[in-house]
Amino acid sequence: MKKHILVVGGGFAGINLIKSLKNDKRFKITLVDQNNYHFFPPLIYQVATSFIEASNISYPFRKLFSESKNVNYHMGKLVQVYPDKKTIETDTGTLSYDYLVLAMGTESNFFGMENVQKCALPMKTIEEALYLRNHILLTFEEASRNKDMEKAERLQNIVIAGGGPTGVELAGMLAEMGKYIAQKEYPEIKLGLSHLYLIDALPSLLSPMSDLAKKTAYQTLEELGVKILLNVSVKDYVDGKVILSDGRSIETETLIWTSGVIGREVHGVPETSIGKGRRLLVDAYNKVEETTNIYAVGDLCLMLSEEKYPKGHPQLAQVAIQQGKNLAANFKRIEDGKVLEPFRYNDKGSMAIISKYNAVVDLPKYSFKGFIAWLTWLFIHIIPLVGFGSKIRLALDWLRLFITNNPSIRLILFPKRNTGN
């Protein structure tokens, strides 16, 4: 009898697990995801800033596994897990399993601030990135028509909450967009009223990275005109004003939220299996605590058993990729009657692009910055893309954009917010 593995979530962890088991006749695999495509989150901010098309970082699941005879796809959103019945309920049907792998990742964490959740612009999904792109372009258009000087600053200000890699990369891209594009294409706008703010509650940008990365990010963004506010957090967003923890406020129509994530909710697992940040507590083999045959991988899981990471692994793509592959190997070991291998994270470093031709790279033993780091960033971000065509299209797009400073996809296609999300 083939063992049926249900994988909920087609991100880095889920995809790499499935790739490691495809065409293994001992397993039947069903991928469950509410979207019909895999996408590459580290580049989603470039979709939001009109630099690349969403299709460059996305790939349909059915095409990805079209030649894998033991892999099926079910489009649906997880509603409930029933451990006793070994089934899950989705909004499009009920599925049974022998092994359940939860790999849905995280969603934006608004820390209980209702106004911020309602009005801020997150950037965790393709849909959110496209909406953010449309919002920015629509705001530019409104600013170009605006005759009210009091309203001008609110329209032209942009506030980014969160000084991690996503916030830093987004700030650099928007600053250069204003420098190279806004001046040419929006001559009606008085750019002297425009301000780009980057806010973080911690004392530095890129807090998990090296001192070299932190210093380079701060200096480069400051030179680009970004107003950096550290040791301060967003407390509310009322009537077009971002309220800060130190009492200051910033008038803006655009509050971009990159300030933290929380695990996607899983109904049906024991409450005692849910840890900090709503992540699922797992053992050294990624099995969810106090469950049978239920596993969690990637950003959704919290593993406290590895000595080097007593507070859990960083929520990075490499962790997800390696956990997916390790769990797949352990499923094979179970079938072969072999001893399981605990997960051990191989830290390959981290990186962030700050501006054109300037990035920072932290490797396990040393760090570097500048043009070579920028080339490294480009190369590393091309490799994991699914599909040869996606790699070629993105490489050509980047080459054109970095030479011309003029992306050509500033199209307002979906001007209305999807209130169903």
pLDDT of residue 406: 63
pLDDT of residue 405: 66
Is pLDDT at 255 greater than 90 in this prediction?
Answer: yes
Q: Residues 351-364: pLDDT tens digits?
A: 999 988 899 999 98
14 near 31, Cβ under 8 Å? Answer: yes
Higher pLDDT, 6 or 402: 6
Tokens of 351: 């990186």
Report how far residue 34's alpha carbon sits from residue 254's, in angstroms, rounded to the nearest whole number: 28
Round the average pLDDT of the chain to a whole number and report it.
91
355 near 175, Cβ under 8 Å? Answer: yes
Domains of the chain: 3-34+76-108+262-336 (3.50.50.60), 114-259 (3.50.50.100)
Which candidate, 68, 90, 74, places its Cα nearest to that of 17? 68
Mean pLDDT is lowest, of 123-127, 156-160, 175-179, 386-390, for: 386-390
pLDDT of residue 52: 84
The strand order across the sheet containing 158-161 reads 121-122, 254-257, 158-161, 196-200, 227-230
Which candidate, 24, 13, 416, 182, places its Cα nearest to that of 4? 24
pLDDT of residue 188: 81
Q: Residues 12-21: pLDDT tens digits?
A: 999 999 999 9
Q: Residues 280-298: pLDDT tens digits?
A: 999 999 999 999 999 999 9
Q: Residues 197-243: pLDDT tens digits?
A: 999 999 999 998 999 999 999 999 999 999 999 999 999 999 999 99
Question: In this structure, which amino acid lies at residue 308?
Answer: K
Is pLDDT at 415 greater than 80 in this prediction?
Answer: no
pLDDT of residue 416: 54
Mean pLDDT is lowest, of 45-54, 121-130, 315-324, for: 45-54
301: phi then psi, degrees, rounded to nearest 5: -100, 155
Report how far residue 27's alpha carbon sits from residue 131's, in angstroms, rounded to the nearest whole number: 39
Q: Is the pTM of this model over 0.85?
A: yes
Kindly indicate the confidence band of residue 419, based on its pLDDT and cuts at 50, 70 and 90: very low
**For range 266-279, the mean pLDDT:** 97
**For range 120-129, the mean pLDDT:** 94
Is pLDDT at 104 greater than 50 in this prediction?
Answer: yes
Q: Residues 41-90: pLDDT tens digits?
A: 999 999 998 888 888 899 999 999 999 999 999 999 999 999 999 999 99
Is pLDDT at 163 greater than 90 in this prediction?
Answer: yes
How far is residue 310 from each of residues 7, 123, 208, 273, measured CA to CA in Å?
Answer: 27, 29, 16, 17
Report how far residue 398's alpha carbon sits from residue 391's, in angstroms, rounded to the nearest whole number: 11
**3-state DSSP assignment of residue 89:** strand
Mean pLDDT is lowest, of 45-49, 107-111, 131-135, 409-413, for: 409-413
Question: In this structure, which amino acid lies at residue 252?
Answer: T
Residue 28 bridge partners (DSSP): 4
Q: Can you give the length of the chain in residues?
A: 421
Report how far residue 136's alpha carbon sits from residue 98's, in angstroms, rounded to the nearest whole number: 46
pLDDT of residue 126: 94
Q: Residues 388-414: pLDDT tens digits?
A: 677 887 887 787 777 766 655 577 776
pLDDT of residue 379: 86
Tokens of 385: 């893309």
